[in-house]
């Protein structure tokens, strides 16, 4: 990064944060602080919902997923539009009619205090863990490739988001997310067009798409019923539906985005905006990754894309092995390029005899390259057992730094940080709100009538969660693909929370005690499934199924327990 990149980065990031904080600095009403401005329209709500879900990991890891495994990850989002229709039709009208600040207040009104606390507690636990990941994930990648200090990167981004989120609450979050998403869309579209322009002359978007398809990167829909496959149409539709229903319907970081606004209509249209755009957006980001794969078939590609990690371990006695792997990778790359060109020539000339053989030779060359890359990972682990061996998160950022002009590099780094700040702000806002409304006010009911004191408490608790997230990010280590780490954490908790809400909405005969203990049992079962998955191969299923299993178990256990427990009439309704 040069001076121009720094100027672009600092002006966009600090400018948006300062604008958000300044514009909302006089927010002193609890309703506005927690739900946002009453004049918020559907466009702002829709962008806010999108920005809260789309973290920096979305723009760092998903192109890497497209590069490594193809675009099949898009199926993960197939349940999302269906879930948003359900949330818009059923959940949102109830939340608005009850006038709740948090989704868990509804559980208190429907069941009892302990179920409300359980729902809020599960949210705080899983979102608190995820909050650490969302701040750590982009920081580790940016710090590694840009040579920044990891601790300072975490602290700087964390403090920036704390300042404007604490100052203006939900109003500041929505306002800043709108501008951050503008930067994100602008940056990603720019990167896409530059990538197309950098493809070899004569190949173009059409040719690159055919190469990606022939090399197995464009399998968007997989109809397989094999439960071992992580992303299929069925895991996306069913597991994804439950994951999305739980995330959008019961996770306060999303509920808080759409329960405010000028009218019910605004929240609903904001959700439908996401239902229409989310799959095309994710497809575009994955396609960018698949096209990056094609780009690196014609440009020298490193044997391991996390070049800093590679270089750090390439010295001493490892040097011979590492250099040999680099040389073999370079030789195979040249060979593969010839095979790809031979396939393209056969295809372009309509040579139906030579084309299948050329394709087989191309795939064989690709398999040989993959084998060397796997050897490189093994060599890295042998040299340093603690080394990060997953390099797909570094593919896109590597392209940005190597191929984009200065100024645009700053813009793309701003994209990553804007996405990190946007999602982080939504999370902190929700964590602070839930702690204030469901815990602090619950244990200090007299304070509920003092609006100024409530706003002060919400500000302090939001700041506290920000500091917790920074501390967690500073001291934690994450080894798996980062976006999957967040989804796995979510899937472990979401199913059960959704089960509680589905019982609340649809099983009116079930009371608080039954659903509470059913949720505890179902959550214990999901923990056991996750922890024992390596010991018992039959339990090693796609994590998306945890959403469905947890939800179904909670609902079934609730019904069973309700038949066993005497039902006590509720004497008093909890104060929201």
Query: What is the binding site for other proteins (CB under 8 A)?
Result: 74, 78, 81-82, 84-85, 88-90, 93-94, 96-98, 106, 109-110, 209-210, 212-214, 218-221, 233, 264-265, 268-269, 272, 275-276, 279-280, 283, 504-505, 508, 511, 569-570, 573
Q: Which is nearer to other proteins, 74 or 358 (CB)?
A: 74
Q: What distance in Å separates the CA atoms of residue 424 and residue 55, rounded to the nearest whole number?
A: 8
- Give 475-500 as a DSSP string: H----S-HHHHHHHHHHHHHHHHHHH
Alpha helices in 384-481 (DSSP H): 395-403, 408-434, 441-443, 451-475
CB of 496 to other proteins, least distance (A): 20
Q: Which is nearer to other proteins, 329 or 366 (CB)?
A: 366
Q: Which is nearer to other proteins, 220 or 455 (CB)?
A: 220
Backbone phi, psi, residue 543, to 5°: -60, -20
Q: What distance in Å separates the CA atoms of residue 436 and residue 454, rounded to the nearest whole number?
A: 7
**Could you say which DSSP state residue 348 is in?**
H
Q: Which is nearer to other proteins, 21 or 502 (CB)?
A: 502
CB of 186 to other proteins, least distance (A): 24
Contact 455, 99 (CB under 8 A): no
- Give 283-298 as a DSSP string: HHHHHHHHHHHHHHHH
Q: Which is nearer to other proteins, 108 or 426 (CB)?
A: 108
CA 511 vs CA 445, 558, 565, 569: distances in Å = 24, 8, 9, 9
Contact 486, 538 (CB under 8 A): no
Q: Which is nearer to other proteins, 457 or 510 (CB)?
A: 510
CB of 272 to other proteins, least distance (A): 5
Task: Kindly tell me the sign of the dihedral angle through the C-alpha atoms of 551, 554, 556, 558.
Answer: negative
CB of 549 to other proteins, least distance (A): 24
CB of 195 to other proteins, least distance (A): 18
Q: Which is nearer to other proteins, 464 or 559 (CB)?
A: 559
Q: What distance in Å separates the CA atoms of residue 132 and residue 467, rounded to the nearest whole number?
A: 10
Q: Which is nearer to other proteins, 88 or 366 (CB)?
A: 88
Mutual angle of helices 482-506 and 512-531, in 10-degree steps: 160
CB of 283 to other proteins, least distance (A): 7
Q: What distance in Å separates the CA atoms of residue 563 and residue 375, rounded to the nearest whole number?
A: 58
CB of 243 to other proteins, least distance (A): 16
Q: Which is nearer to other proteins, 470 or 518 (CB)?
A: 518
Contacts of 6 (CB under 8 A, 6+ apart): 410
CB of 81 to other proteins, least distance (A): 4
Helices and strands (H and E) in the chain: how many: 24, 0
């Amino acid at each position: 990064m040069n001076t121009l990149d720094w100027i672009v980065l600092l002006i966009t990031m600090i400018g948006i944060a300062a604008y958000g904080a300044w514009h909302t600095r006089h927010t002193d009403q609890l309703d506005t602080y927690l739900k946002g401005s009453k004049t918020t329209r559907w466009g702002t709500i829709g962008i806010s919902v999108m920005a809260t879900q789309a973290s920096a990991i979305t723009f760092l890891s998903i192109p890497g997923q497209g590069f490594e495994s193809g675009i099949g990850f898009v199926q993960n989002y197939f349940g999302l539009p269906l879930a948003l229709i359900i949330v818009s039709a059923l959940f949102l009208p109830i939340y608005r009619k009850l006038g709740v600040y948090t989704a868990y207040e509804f559980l208190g009104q429907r069941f009892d205090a302990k179920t409300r606390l359980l729902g809020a507690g599960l949210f705080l636990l899983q979102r608190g863990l995820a909050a650490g990941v969302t701040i750590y994930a982009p920081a580790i990648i940016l710090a590694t490739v840009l040579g920044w200090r990891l601790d300072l990167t975490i602290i700087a981004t964390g403090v920036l988001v704390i300042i404007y989120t604490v100052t203006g609450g939900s109003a500041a979050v929505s306002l800043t997310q709108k501008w951050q998403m503008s930067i994100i869309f602008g940056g990603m579209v720019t990167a896409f067009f530059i990538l197309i322009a950098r493809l070899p002359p004569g190949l173009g978007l059409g040719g690159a798409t055919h190469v990606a398809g022939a090399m197995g990167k464009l399998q968007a829909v997989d109809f397989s019923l094999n439960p071992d496959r992580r992303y299929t149409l069925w895991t996306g539709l069913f597991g994804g539906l439950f994951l999305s229903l739980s995330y959008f319907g019961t996770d306060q970081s999303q509920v808080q985005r759409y329960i405010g606004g000028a009218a019910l209509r605004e929240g609903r249209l904001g959700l439908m905006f996401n239902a229409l755009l989310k799959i095309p957006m994710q497809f575009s980001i994955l396609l960018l990754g698949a096209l990056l794969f094609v780009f690196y078939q014609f440009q020298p590609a490193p044997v391991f894309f996390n070049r800093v990690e590679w270089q750090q371990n390439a010295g001493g006695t490892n040097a011979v092995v590492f250099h040999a792997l680099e040389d073999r990778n370079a030789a195979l790359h040249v060979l593969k390029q010839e095979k790809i060109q031979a396939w393209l020539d056969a295809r372009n000339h309509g040579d139906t005899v030579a084309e299948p053989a050329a394709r087989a030779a191309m795939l064989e060359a690709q398999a040989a390259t993959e084998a060397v890359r796997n050897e490189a990972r093994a060599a890295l682990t042998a040299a340093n057992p603690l080394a990060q061996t997953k390099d797909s998160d570094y593919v896109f950022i590597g392209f940005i730094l190597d191929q984009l002009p200065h100024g645009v590099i700053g813009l793309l780094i701003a994209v990553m940080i804007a996405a990190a700040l946007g999602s982080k702000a939504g999370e902190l806002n929700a964590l602070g709100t839930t702690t204030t409304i469901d815990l602090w006010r619950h244990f200090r009911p007299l304070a509920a009538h003092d609006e100024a004191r409530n706003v002060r408490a919400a500000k302090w608790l939001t700041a506290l969660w920000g500091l917790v997230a920074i501390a967690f990010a500073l001291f934690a280590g994450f080894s798996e693909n980062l976006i999957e780490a967040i989804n796995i954490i979510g899937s472990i908790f979401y199913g059960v929370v959704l089960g509680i809400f589905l019982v609340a909405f649809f099983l009116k005969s079930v009371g608080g005690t039954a659903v509470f203990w059913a949720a505890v049992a179902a959550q214990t079962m999901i923990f056991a499934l996750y922890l024992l998955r390596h010991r018992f191969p039959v339990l090693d299923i796609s994590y998306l199924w945890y959403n469905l299993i947890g939800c179904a178990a909670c609902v079934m256990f609730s019904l069973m327990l309700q038949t066993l427990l005497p039902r006590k009439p509720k004497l008093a309704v909890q104060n929201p």
